Amino acid sequence: MSSSLIRVGVMRGGLGSEYEVSLKTGATVLEYLPREKYQPRDILITKDGQWHMDGFGIEPARLRNSLDVVFNALHGEFGEDGQVQTLLDNTMLPYTGSGRLASALGMNKVAAKEIISRAGLKVPRGVHLKFKPETKAEAVAYDVFLKISPPWIVKPVSRGSSVGVFLAKTFDDLVVAVSECFKISEVILVEEYIRGREATCGVVDDFRGHKTYPLLPIEIAPPAGKKFFDYEAKYSGQSTEICPSQFSIEEKRELGELAAAVHKLLGLKHYSRTDFIVSPRGIYILEVNSLPGLTAESLVPKSLAALGVPLPHFLDHVVSLALGRK
């Protein structure tokens, strides 16, 4: 192995609910990093917080001695919310993806929505609710019922991959959804359900001559029996993901512009993906993914492929951004 190769620690697994998805994203990165330029090292973080590199236990503080850069392939809690970014900042190791503050902001749906809304962009109306020991799901649901008309989307404030997301059509559904969601998160978000076509659009920094380059938007049609793109729909391989999408030229342009705007508003870095609903009332921003998946079922790789961008080229570009070479 040539000493001139750049040592890339591919960090996967983690402490959150998206452990399995992260394993797959990390496996993709390990497989497709160009071997003529990089020496990949497999960094596995177990569910109980143990760190391993290439199968051997290691303390995070010692990573600096063995690596030049980290490719953050974690998702969700710990990996995408600023925690691991803070740890890597302390090791002085460069890493892919957004920094700790932008990551924390992107992961907090309430904070992100507030910034996006202040910029004049459309987001669903919603209320966020904090769990208290005396909280009764019926009382919470009734309070929401008075403020927002059904149906509703109920979801944790800080989760990704649609983990813990519920669609409630009736008051009784809402009570159950609130109760179940509070089991996952102490703070939940209840939003109006926007009827329309689901879309997502990724962006990449400093790519093809653009500071923030929008990838091709993807239209998502959940499988039969699913009203929205939940965790199962995302990773079962049963959803229909149309890329290039069948949106109008104007809608495609607006989706790209909005994805770039969200990326910039939240201070995200390297790449991200934003989810939308294209409705008769306009395009609504649902949420942002600061570290979108790179699995075989994931949407960013599909959009890259539709543009003719090989995955190794994208990974090389992202690592170069992290190293400050672009």
Neighbours of 153 (CB within 10 A): 21
pLDDT at position 133: 84
Residue 54 confidence (pLDDT) above 60: yes
pLDDT value of residue 56: 97
Does the pLDDT value for residue 128 go beyond 80?
yes
Cα–Cα distance between 210 and 321 in angstroms, integer? 14
Encode pLDDT of 183-234 as tens digits. Answer: 988 999 999 999 999 999 999 999 999 999 999 999 998 776 655 545 455 4
Residue spans of the domains in the chain: they are: 6-96, 105-121+195-322, 126-192
Position 50, amino acid: Q
Mean pLDDT of 298-313: 96
- pLDDT computed for residue 160 by the predictor: 58
What is the β-pairing status of strands 126-130 and 187-192? antiparallel
Task: Reduce the secondary structure of the chain to three states and give it as a string.
Answer: CCCCCEEEEEEEECCCCCHHHHHHHHHHHHHHCCCCCEEEEEEEECCCCCEEECCEECCHHHHHHCCCEEEECCCCCCCCCCHHHHHHHHHCCCECCCCHHHHHHHHCHHHHHHHHHHCCCCCCCEEEEECCCCCCHHHHHHHHHHHCCCCEEEEECCCCCCCCCEEECCHHHHHHHHHHHHHHCCEEEEEECCCCEEEEEEEEEEECCEEEEECCCEEEECCCCCCCCCHHHHHCCCCEEECCCCCCHHHHHHHHHHHHHHHHHCCCCCEEEEEEEEECCEEEEEEEECCCCCCCCCHHHHHHHHCCCCHHHHHHHHHHHHCCCC
Query: For residue range 75-115, what is the model confidence (pLDDT) as tens digits?
Result: 999 999 999 999 999 999 999 999 999 999 999 999 999 99
Quick one: average pLDDT of 301-308?
96
Whether the Cβ atoms of residue 115 and residue 266 lie closer than 8 Å to each other:
yes
Tokens 């008075």 appear where? 146
Question: Please, which pLDDT band fits residue 34 given cuts at 50, 70 and 90?
Answer: very high
pLDDT tens-digit profile of 272-288? 999 999 999 999 999 99
Task: Tell which CATH classification among 3.30.1490.20, 3.30.565.10, 3.60.9.10, 3.40.47.10 matches the domain 126-192.
Answer: 3.30.1490.20
Position 154 pLDDT exceeds 60 = yes
Residues with Cβ < 8 Å from 307, sequence gap 6 or more? 215, 216
Domains 6-96 and 105-121+195-322 agree in fold: no
> Does 259 score more than 70 pLDDT?
yes
Residue 106 in contact with residue 266, Cβ under 8 Å?
yes
Q: How confident is the model at residue 159 (pLDDT cuts 50, 70, 90)?
A: low
The arithmetic mean of pLDDT across residues 147-159, rounded, is 91
CA-CA distance, 85 to 234, in Å (whole number)?
Answer: 26
Classify domain 105-121+195-322 by CATH number. 3.30.470.20
Give the contacts of 170 (CB within 8 A, at least 6 positions apart): 150
Fold of 6-96: Rossmann fold (3.40.50)
- How many other C-beta atoms lie within 10 A of the C-beta of residue 304? 21
